[in-house]
Amino acid sequence: MTDATAETPRRGSGMGSLMASDDHTAKRNAREKRFRMYGLVAVCTGILMLVLLLTSILTAGLSAFRQTTIEISVTLDADRLDPEGNRDPADMGKVTTFGYAPLLRDGLIGTIEGAGIETDLGARDVADLISDESVAQLRSFVLANPDVVGQTIPVEVLASGRIDGFFKGRVTYETAELDKNISPAQLRLAEDLKAADLLRTGFNWRFITAPDASTTRPEAAGLGVAILGSLYMMLVVLCLALPIGVAASIYLEEFAPQNRITDLIEVNISNLAAVPSIVFGILGLAIFINFAGLPQSAPIVGGLVLTLMTLPTIIIATRASLKSVPPSIRDAALGIGASKMQSVFHHVLPLAMPGILTGTIIGLAQALGETAPLLLIGMVAFVREYPEAPWDGGLFDPATALPVQVYNFTQRSDPAFVERASGAIIVLLVFLLIMNLTAIFLRRRFERRW
Amino acid sequence: MNDMRLTERAVDNNGTKIRAKGVQVYYGDTHAIKNVDVDIADKTVTAFIGPSGCGKSTFLRCINRMNDTISVARVEGDILIDGEDIYDKRVDPVQLRAKVGMVFQKPNPFPKSIYDNVAYGPRIHGLAKDKADLDGIVESALRRAALWDEVKDRLTAPGTGLSGGQQQRLCIARAVATSPEVLLMDEPCSALDPIATDQVENLIHELRANYSVVIVTHSMSQASRVSQKTAYFHLGEMVEYGDTGDIFTNPKDERTENYITGRIG
Ligand SMILES: Nc1ncnc2c1ncn2[C@@H]1O[C@H](COP(=O)(O)OP(=O)(O)OP(=O)(O)O)[C@@H](O)[C@H]1O
Ligand SMILES: [Mg+2]
């Protein structure tokens, strides 16, 4: 026995000590080390890119959440605002913003004088400090509260885009020299106002709640309509894509016979997931708007198009998680006389739930960020009216969507819109973050059951 | 005692619970069961033995039509339970499986509480009138599976949290809870230690009073301990079928003899 082993020539590395690695092992280790280096470099590059992206968006966009306002006391001249003298909003509505503009301008000049600030600017140049939007704001405030007519009230109005930009570092005395919209003298006046604590910078709720504003009034542009539009579309997608997708997956995975037709369907679903989203937009335009006659720019159409787009994602995720449920569970249920449907709904579906929910939320998140198909169905329109509540037919009212609003802002010439666009991206990212956290939370919750 | 019972059987012609006639099973092109004829008696334990891959599980799964769930499987021939052809068009496999319970090789409790595991069958078949009734069914099923004393204080704990042997007994309790007339067991003890195996074997002895039990096993000693009848399968054929004592002491077929003496398998 011992002889036999002694005679067999020993192969490989065996002769050396275990303390020193032989050539072969050294090579293998070096290869492994190199591979780990590549991986590490790839991960670091990815993280670096992400950090760069986030910093650039945050530095450009965070200022959108701060807004400069000026406090003015305005005397609301009853003769001008309510010629009939009856404080009836219907009659007062005849006075247009042209009737309000001088009041606001006089109010501003009065406020400046009251604060003891000296300026040699003309009335027009002084009025340029405040946003054109504030006149409209003042008018709607007065129409909503007719009793204030005749009084002198303090109002907080938006500073114009350039003044706002001055306090965010976007506009300086040097750029103002070359800018026909603003002069250094106006900037000096703004600084004096700030010193007198009449001009303030605070959190910009209007950016989140207000509707879009025209190209000349970046300071007033907000995301209210876009956020509502996006939420409405998500509602439609959730209500349609989740039940349809889950039902289709359960049928395909658990009930459908395995034959050519189901194979074909399967291949097509995978292909649909890879179809460029703009194709879905064309489909939506052709079917929902031209054929079915649904209104343009409406969240219902956007929601339907995004539903089509999200369905494959949800179906693929749901089928994968149904597949991952061990077959022994199905056998167990069938073995004690449960019907196919009972075995699916009582045992398989609950186990597949975390996967289904994660897939659904990922699909929704994809849909939330989708832009191209929405451009085609007219959701890129300029919409200033909030849609009604969903149960009042709001799904059929015109609206925009967050990613489209980002695109829209970037198309405008005023540099102040760069800040707004980045701000809108931040809002979009926050929504995505919330959805992903929900997915994680739901996953944990359902998985922790056993 | 054993002999007496068998004589009793012999005179009772209605004692046949399951009758298989010319059963063929194909998995696609594979011919897994070749022309099997067998009469399985009521209130008897029948053991299926044979080398791995010879078709014991396949034949067992024919008896409660679990093969229906395998799309490539095709069953030919007749299987009659109480004289009724279970492959008849009018037979609902779901109803059949309530009558023919099954315990699988690998314990497969539902990821639910111990109570819900056992109560699931009675619930879906509407066997319990009220909560108290259901509690009673659950308790007696767990008692018969020799599990009650171990779990009575934690019925709400997950069934998947039990040990392997306990899980298998839970699965037996689950199968027993629907009061089936036939109990099919596919290697129920292969995951169990000797003590748990002993408990399950005792259980099988008890079940014999009310059920027709068919058990697949790789353990010759187990087959001789628990069964009255034994069938030996070889490459899809049923080579020999008879009283357990005869098969083990005096096999007629050479292949059976080789298997039980340990020369093949
Ligand atoms: N789902 C299936 N699809 C295709 N062939 C199968 C399937 N199940 C079993 N077979 C084949 O049928 C034959 C019998 O298998 P079966 O599982 O009945 O054997 P067995 O006697 O139970 O073996 P073991 O003792 O190992 O459990 C084997 O050749 C197997 O490969
Ligand atoms: Mg088997």
Tokens of A141: 């405030």
A351 and B111 Cβ atoms separated by less than 8 Å: yes
Residue B104 in contact with ligand 1 by CB distance below 6 A: no
> Can you give chain B as a three-state secondary structure string?
CHHHHHHHHHHCHHHEEEEEEEEEEEECCEEEEEEEEEEEECCCEEEEECCCCCCHHHHHHHHCCHHHHCCCEEEEEEEEECCEECCCCCCCHHHHHHHEEEECCCCCCCCCEHHHHHHHHHHHCCCCCCHHHHHHHHHHHHHHCCCHHHHCCCCCCEHHHCCHHHHHHHHHHHHHHCCCCEEEEECCCCCCCHHHHHHHHHHHHHHCCCCEEEEECCCHHHHHHHCCEEEEEECCEEEEEEEHHHHHHCCCCHHHHHHHCCCCC
Residues A21, A26: Cα–Cα separation, whole Å? 6
Separation of B30 CA from ligand 1 center, angstroms?
10
Residue B54 in contact with ligand 1 by CB distance below 6 A: yes
Of A337, A346, A351, the CB nearest to B97: A337
The pLDDT of residue A286 is 92
Q: A335–B98: do the CB atoms touch at under 8 Å?
A: no
* Segments of A175-329 assigned E as strands: 199-203
The pLDDT of residue B171 is 93
Residue B106 in contact with ligand 1 by CB distance below 6 A: no
Separation of B73 CA from ligand 1 center, angstroms?
11
* Beta bridge pairs of residue B243: B229
Per-residue pLDDT tens digits for B190-249: 877 888 888 889 888 888 888 899 999 998 899 999 999 999 999 999 999 999 998 888
Contact residues, chain A, for B172 at CB < 8 Å: none
Q: What is the pTM of this model?
A: 0.81
Asked whether the predicted pLDDT for residue B5 surpasses 80, the reply is: no
Residues B137, B119: Cα–Cα separation, whole Å? 8
Per-residue pLDDT tens digits for B146-188: 889 989 899 999 998 888 888 988 999 999 999 899 999 999 8
A225 and A211 Cβ atoms separated by less than 8 Å: yes
Structural domains of chain A, with CATH: 66-204 (no CATH), 224-446 (1.10.3720.10)
Side-by-side strand order, sheet with B73-81: B30-41, B16-27, B73-81, B84-85
Residues B158, B117: Cα–Cα separation, whole Å? 9
Asked whether the predicted pLDDT for residue B1 surpasses 70, the reply is: no
Tokens of B13: 């012609």
Tokens of A8: 């067999």
Q: A334–B125: do the CB atoms touch at under 8 Å?
A: no
Scored b (16 or more CB within 10 A) or e, A32-57 reads eeeeeeeeeeeeeeeeeeeeeeeeeb
Separation of A258 CA from ligand 2 center, angstroms?
25
Residue B27 in contact with ligand 1 by CB distance below 6 A: yes
Separation of B61 CA from ligand 2 center, angstroms?
10
CA distance B33 to chain A (A): 21
**Coil vs helix vs strand at B208:** coil
The pLDDT of residue A119 is 81
Q: A336–B71: do the CB atoms touch at under 8 Å?
A: no
Residue B231 in contact with ligand 1 by CB distance below 6 A: no
Of A328, A330, A342, the CB nearest to B106: A328
Task: Quote ipTM for the complex.
Answer: 0.86
Looking at every residue in chain B, the average pLDDT score rounds to 87
Sole residue written with tokens 């603003």:
A182
Residues A61, A55: Cα–Cα separation, whole Å? 10
Between strands B16-27 and B45-49, the pairing is: unpaired
Which residue in A has a C-alpha nearest to residue B72's C-alpha? A258
Q: Whose Cα sits closest to atom 30 in ligand 1?
A: B53
Instruction: Read off φ and ψ for residue A371, nearest 5 degrees.
Output: -115, -50
Contact residues, chain A, for B181 at CB < 8 Å: none
CA distance B186 to chain A (A): 12
Asked whether the predicted pLDDT for residue B53 surpasses 60, the reply is: yes
Cβ-based neighbour number of residue A337 at 10 Å: 26
Between strands B16-27 and B73-81, the pairing is: antiparallel
pLDDT classification of B3: cutoffs 50, 70, 90: very low
* Single-letter residue type at A142: V
Interface size, chain A vs chain B, as Cβ–Cβ contacts under 8 Å: 67
A188 close contact with B: CB closer than 8 A:
no
* Segments of chain B assigned E as strands: 16-27, 30-41, 45-49, 73-81, 84-85, 100-103, 182-186, 212-216, 229-234, 237-243
Tell me the angle at which helices B131-144 and B114-124 cross, rounded to the nearest 10 degrees: 120
The pLDDT of residue B4 is 41
Which residue in A has a C-alpha nearest to residue B112's C-alpha? A450
The pLDDT of residue A2 is 46
Instruction: Read off φ and ψ for residue B246, nearest 5 degrees.
Output: -65, -45
pLDDT above 90: percentage of residues in chain B: 51
Side-by-side strand order, sheet with B45-49: B100-103, B182-186, B212-216, B45-49, B229-234, B237-243
Scored b (16 or more CB within 10 A) or e, A406-416 reads bbbbeebebeb
Query: How large is the average pLDDT for residues B68-90?
Result: 89
A449 close contact with B: CB closer than 8 A:
yes
The pLDDT of residue B7 is 38
Cβ-based neighbour number of residue B130 at 10 Å: 8
Structural domains of chain B, with CATH: 42-52+93-260 (3.40.50.300)
List, in order, residues 6 or more apart from B109 with CB less than 8 Å away: A332, B117, B159, B160, B162, B167, B170, B171, B174
| Positions in chain A short of pLDDT 50 | 1-5
Q: Which ligand is nearest to the CA of B233?
A: 1
